[in-house]
Chains A and B, each alone.
Chain A
């Protein structure tokens, strides 16, 4: 894709394909645990949050994860790699039902359902976290990047610990 304006002129079908590629690259990066590449999917400044539905719907500001800048994202990666102590696990994310809400100025708003599955040693894979992405996407350096990504999860009860991003 050449130039920031090229995305704006895409028809809905082509834009959808671009978004599908973005989400596939995003979840692929996380599923393969290339966490160092994860902040690269975000614009600067950016906002990333994981929020239980009960807080989101009641307008309560508390997030389970709150990242207010790329620095926060890097700090989460540092925790995963260096400081947190946790049992080994695999998390796989499935994104489905991507909906284009529309452009508002330079910002493309989209929603999608996601499901994350967690596999711990000695245990069968379980549904770990299910919810909806509320995303604001911009064109940055010729590519689509998340200006804002809010993961609102339905399953209010987190199965023990949420260590990797969604």
Chain B
């Protein structure tokens, strides 16, 4: 990474090489995704019974989240300890044990190796050396943290307790959605965006664009900076949240700059957007949790957006939409209808995925140049009472640079 120097302006610049450089990407995998951080991997509702498993990802590495017979949740790397095969190829499944198809090395649901074919040879010939110990060849086991039905994992055993990791203000927003009620998974959406993974975080950490880009959002008053906004950032800068309240669809002095606002925009079928007040205070709360999760609450649509890196120039966004076990049919229907706002066809989120692709196209050939993050700058604070700010992005890179040694 020689020759890569952060611009001297510091917090208000992001050099474009962070989005494309292969060595940077390799260091991110090592220090961030395999570092002492809690990565979102599953909802417990996806693996309710012993033997249920879910295939997930942390950075480039595939992992399997397994419910053991005693109800515990284990997370193991999806790579056989023998020859490195990725043994699990289903998003969701059920098994009594984990077996690699190649040579049938067999593991318990916690990842411990329990059997190896021909261990003692055949007719006294061949076989494993006498000193071969099953205990030395388990699947790589990850640290696991669970809270109110959400499963996080870490390749490192050095992560802080999850509650300390999130910090009080973010934990409070996490518990607002995950209050201990049983969850009900409504379905998945997966999209592959030709942009660097950090662009996804920047997009959510940027309430500025929502009032300008999203004609749909701002015309219907779902999220606009002339409405009350609140931003919180954890003390280290790594997690953040933007909260807003729904406003009216009308032109005022405060939104004159929002040229895209269409005052007479109407839905031909308004049942799509018929939100009910479900949570205290904010109608929108978008929380980014380092290093791979966006927790989305927009009106009544709830989703985990898991970021999966696919090289420096692409990422997969894996959306898990959910509701609560206590939801009645009308509430489930409402969540499914409002899901039209989100995902790879979302009335709102399509604009974002398209902009991220354009960003990567523009910045890719310009590693010598940098993004300008001046709005409400040049510093960042842990709390703001407005959304006309890029402070969450500055905070993110403040922390990122420390972790990356940049």
- Interface positions of A (Cβ within 8 A of B): 50, 52, 54-55, 58, 60-66, 68-72, 74-75, 78-79, 82-87, 156-163
Contact = CB atoms under 8 A, between A and B. Distances in A.
Contacts of A78: 265, 268
B353 A160 contact: yes
Contacts of B350: 84-86, 161-163
A79 B269 contact: no
A82 B272 CA distance: 18
Nearest to A163: B350
Contacts of A74: 268-269
A157 B345 contact: no
B187 A60 contact: yes
Given A62-B188, A162-B350, 13 more contacts: A52-B187, A52-B189, A55-B187, A58-B187, A60-B187, A61-B187, A61-B332, A63-B336, A66-B336, A79-B216, A82-B265, A158-B190, A160-B194
A71 B266 CA distance: 11
A62 B321 contact: yes
Contact of B347 (A58, A69, A71, A79): A79
A86 B336 contact: no
**Interface class of chain A by DSSP:** mixed
24 contacts: A50-B345, A55-B187, A61-B186, A61-B336, A68-B271, A74-B269, A79-B347, A82-B215, A83-B216, A83-B265, A83-B347, A84-B215, A85-B215, A85-B350, A85-B354, A86-B350, A87-B358, A159-B192, A160-B191, A160-B193, A160-B354, A161-B350, A161-B353, A163-B345
B272 A75 contact: yes
B277 to A, nearest CB: 23
B91 interface: yes
A139 B315 CA distance: 45
B339 A158 contact: no
Contacts of A86: 350-351, 354
Interface of B: 91-92, 185-194, 213, 215-216, 219, 262, 265, 267-269, 271-272, 316, 321, 332, 336-337, 339-340, 343-345, 347, 350-351, 353-355, 357-358
Given A83-B216, A84-B216, A63 B339 contact: yes
Contacts of B216: 79, 83-84
Contact of B345 (A55, A75, A83, A162): A162
B173 to A, nearest CB: 24
B6 to A, nearest CB: 30
A112 B33 CA distance: 43
Contacts of B186: 60-62
Contacts of A75: 267-269, 272
A54 B91 CA distance: 9
Residue with the greatest number of chain B CB neighbours at <10 A, chosen from A52, A69, A157: A157
B218 to A, nearest CB: 10
Contacts of B353: 160-161
Nearest to A71: B269
A83 B351 CA distance: 9
Contacts of B269: 68-72, 74-75
A71 B339 CA distance: 16
Contacts of A62: 186-189, 321, 336, 339
Contacts of B215: 82-85
B188 A60 contact: yes
A71 B267 contact: yes
A70 B340 CA distance: 15
Nearest to B310: A157
Given A50-B345, A74-B268, A85-B354, A156 B190 contact: yes
A54 B189 CA distance: 9
A62 B267 CA distance: 21
